[in-house]
Structure 1
Amino acid sequence: MSALPPNLSGMGESTARTLSLLTLLQAHRWWPGEELADRLGVTTRSVRRRVDALRELGYEIESTPGLGGGYRLAAGTRMPPLLLTDDEAVTVAVGLRVAAATGIVDGESTALSALAKFEQVLPPALRERVNALGRSIGSRPPRGGPVPSELLGALALACRDHERVRFAYTAANGVETRRLVEPHSLVSGDRKWFLIAWDLDRAAWRTFRADRIADLLGTGVRAEPRELSPEEAAEFALAASDRKVAENATAIMAMPFEDMRAHFGPWAQNASPVDGARTAWPFGGDDHPTMTTALAWIPAGVSYEVQADRAYLEFLHDHASRMLAAAEASLAHLNTPAT
């Protein structure tokens, strides 16, 4: 049996276990009653009493009777007592949508997970306000087609709960298929969302662009989680990106290939060893300023040269000269004694 979480251990035992029950219900879409009782260290009868207590507080909890029965947290007719006003709840939901849509490094998956959990209990009237505000707030547009936040939320829940789902998928060549998959994770890359999933019909990992997914249906079937590291998931997303950049160049850096791969992780895709001490790393972008930002990721102290057409090399030379002049002027100002 599980002990109470440390942050709840100072409360009365009954209150603490009720809040622990709420935490568990928010963590998964459905829980067997016996498993909840075991995790809380109580009887199934005690679980029923605590479920009733949460219902009195405004939480909509659905139950399935019988030997294999269980509980799930559902959206109710009003907002549960999260110490938030309706306006605050709308603001939080909109903020999470913007954070997820803009692809914040190391933060988009957290924002999406929080958004999925939050919208799971958001009443329909408030969800409509969130949708209206979300459409009016500008953010960096995706490179693919628009992806409804409701779809992203549903996919995030399926990943969280390891629930098999069916959907219609349109490939890059326009061919439409029906897929049955076990979702693993959502990954953002190149301003697109990708679903990494195990395709049951093909018995292999597949990557699906979220903007090409339609008619998503949950099956209610939970699958055993399959092992896939975050780095592997990111590599799948990178490999699936069909974007063609307008400009290309290659950095030849004084860094052994294995060291370069360890430092750059999934961003080392398409890199190749030149010899035992140097690595060739292709990079690109929509324009010269955009592609130049890639050079900032080369580690300090690592020398490199750039192979590109004359237009980009001239741009890079001018850009670097102006940056150097600006830095020297600022340093001279800082080193000038005050009078």
Structure 2
Amino acid sequence: MPTTSARLLSLLSLLQTRRDWPGPALAERLGVSPRTVRRDVDRLRELGYPIGAVKGPDGGYRLGAGSELPPLLFDDEQAVALAIALQIATVTGAGIEEASARALTTVRQVLPARLRRRIDTFPFTSVEPPARTGGRVASAVLVALGAAVHAREVLRFDYASPVDQGEGGVGGPPRRVEPHHLVAWGGRWYLVAWDLDRGDWRTFRADRITPRTPTGPRFTPRPLPGGGVSAFVTSRFLGAGESGDWPCRGEVILDLPASAVTRHSWDGVVEAVGPDRCRLVLGSWSWTRLAAEIGSFDVDLEIVGPRELREAFARLARRYSAAVSASGE
């Protein structure tokens, strides 16, 4: 049986998932007796949670309005961090999506109105390729970008190149954009926006952005190419057009079990063709890069096609052979 504190948290979470809870149903979900549920409800009432009784054959309970609940003690940075973490957790595919969504609802309900507004004005989309290293983004920057997206106000900011970042400065005039969306992609944050000076869609790394104030004026959002944020961002990072596919895609047979290949090929389609062999369809931004990536599995393989992939393997073979000959060994 869980401890009393853990059981109280579980009870409070259940009470916030639906309007009315029959007492026996709560007891069954918590794995305790109806008498224990009544005692736990009394404990929550003593802590300040307005839980009312519902009349009926079995009796029940109802949690009062969220504005009456005692506020949680979060400063602004903690509230933003909590909102980001819970929203990302709802799209991780790790089997915790529903619980994360309920946790976000629970936390939002007991936050003071000022901090609830900070969470509500922080829209973003999470797309999940493999994690990569990247610069840290100050929470104040993410809040400023999220607020501009939510308010649909033109944003001005300084944008640092990698060289500028190393020197601690920025280069060029301020950028002027219509911010469309914040995106979490592979361990980095990006701003998708319409660049007013260049007349085109751009994707900016958030860790290189230094927002300027004030924002404005307001704008009417343009339709994003590709049918949605995820499709647009995916196509940009794959180096393809609006189709969202790699410009180069090939097929091979590897002398490896499908389970071993799947773990290291997030964008590939893997099909078992035997206990120790599998078919891999994989894409990349160039044929040479694709051949090199397939070669990194370090096993014997059969090239199914297309012709460009075979030529890329032959080109690499000649290059590697020449490198060995030049070494004199």
User: What TM-score do the two structures reach when normalised by structure 1?
Assistant: 0.43
Rg comparison, structure with higher value: 2
